């Protein structure tokens, strides 16, 4: 019915379609699989790429400014105690505190700034203790007119909870002794606690004697030249308190 050429052509076409059909089916299956897969953007990111991933082991955490400031003040106090006030340089303090000089200057522009900060810290603690003791004395029924003098006596000679360590106090006293400008700057805020009470001269003098005696005890302790037995010291303090109360 067909010529040999036509027959051969039909056979070849049938063979060709039988080869291409599986290939087309394979491509359709691949497209269907791609359509079923989730978008690439919705796939979970590796943990290392997330913002909330934990820092790698060994990473140094940045210290809080308050912590750095406290370290610098402690370093300045230690150096001044060990080597004297002149040894308190920016480089020395930064090295001792384990920070860069730039980090130090973020808090303190110069050496005097360090000393001023030490004094301000001490004064703040001293005033807090003064207010606490005044309030406690009044609550216990002690006379109001001598409350400040009695609080000054106790706060100045407090050995269990001092406003500052002996080392820091020595640094501040040394700075005051060597520089009149520093002495005036540090003395000014303390005058409100040492000024005479607005009382008749006899009563005012009695309270002033208590303050001056407290200063004497403090200085003798600071310089270490008074080796007073504990019982004698306690009796001195007791008599001063009685004097501040107006009792013989």
Of 155, 81, 151, give the one whose Cα is nearest residue 125: 155
Q: Using CA atoms in the order 207, 213, 217, 222, what is the torsion angle rounded to 10 degrees?
A: 90
pLDDT at residue 146, as a whole number: 86
The SS3 of residue 25 is helix
Please say whether the beta carbons of 111 and 88 come within 8 A. Answer: yes
Q: What is the pTM of this model?
A: 0.66
- State the Cα–Cα distance between residues 111 and 73, nearest whole angstrom: 11
CB 72 within 8 A of CB 104: yes
Q: If 0-12 CB within 10 Å is exposed, 13-18 middle and 19+ buried, where does residue 29 land?
A: exposed
Which residue ranges in the chain fall short of pLDDT 50? 1-26, 29-38, 40-43, 46-60
Classify the C-alpha dihedral 109-121-176-73 as positive or negative.
negative
d(CA 37, CA 43): 10
Helix axes 166-178, 180-187, angle to 10 degrees: 120
The structure tokens 């040894």 sit at: 87
pLDDT of residue 145: 81
The number of C-alpha atoms within 13 Å of 237 and in the hemisphere containing its C-beta is 19
pLDDT tens, residue by residue, 166-185: 878 888 888 888 889 999 99
Question: What is residue 85's three-state secondary structure?
Answer: helix
Phi-psi region of 179 (alpha: psi -120 to 50; beta: other; left: phi over 0): beta
- What pLDDT score does 248 carry? 56
CA distance linking residue 152 with residue 213, whole number of Å: 11
What integer pLDDT is reported at residue 62 of this predicted model?
61
What pLDDT score does 115 carry?
A: 85
User: How many CA atoms does the CB half-sphere of 90 hold within 13 Å?
Assistant: 14
- Residues 121-134 have pLDDT tens digits of 899 999 999 999 99
Dist. CA 157–CA 149, nearest whole Å = 13
Find the DSSP H helices in the chain: 4-36, 65-83, 90-97, 101-107, 111-139, 147-157, 166-178, 180-187, 191-194, 201-223, 230-244
């Amino acid at each position: 019915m067909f010529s040999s050429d036509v027959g051969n052509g039909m056979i070849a076409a049938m063979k060709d379609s039988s080869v291409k059909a599986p290939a087309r089916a394979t491509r359709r299956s691949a497209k269907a699989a791609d359509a079923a897969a989730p978008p690439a953007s919705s796939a979970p990111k590796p943990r290392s790429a997330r913002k909330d991933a934990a820092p790698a082991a060994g990473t140094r955490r940045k210290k809080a400014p308050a912590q750095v400031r406290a370290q610098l003040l402690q370093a300045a106090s230690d150096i001044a105690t060990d080597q004297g006030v002149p040894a308190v340089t920016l480089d020395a303090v930064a090295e001792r505190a384990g920070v860069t000089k730039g980090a130090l200057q973020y808090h303190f522009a110069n050496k005097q700034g360090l000393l001023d900060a030490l004094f301000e810290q001490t004064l703040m603690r001293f005033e807090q203790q003064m207010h606490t003791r005044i309030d406690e004395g009044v609550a216990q029924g002690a006379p109001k007119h001598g409350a400040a003098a009695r609080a000054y006596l106790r706060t100045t000679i407090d050995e269990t909870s001092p406003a500052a360590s002996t080392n820091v106090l020595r640094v501040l006293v040394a700075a005051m002794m060597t520089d009149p400008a520093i002495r005036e700057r540090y003395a000014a805020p303390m005058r409100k606690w040492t000024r005479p009470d607005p009382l008749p001269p006899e009563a005012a003098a009695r309270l002033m004697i208590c303050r001056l005696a407290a200063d004497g005890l403090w200085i003798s302790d600071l310089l270490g030249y008074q080796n007073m037995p504990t019982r004698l010291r306690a009796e001195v303090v007791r008599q001063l308190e009685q004097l501040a109360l107006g009792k013989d």
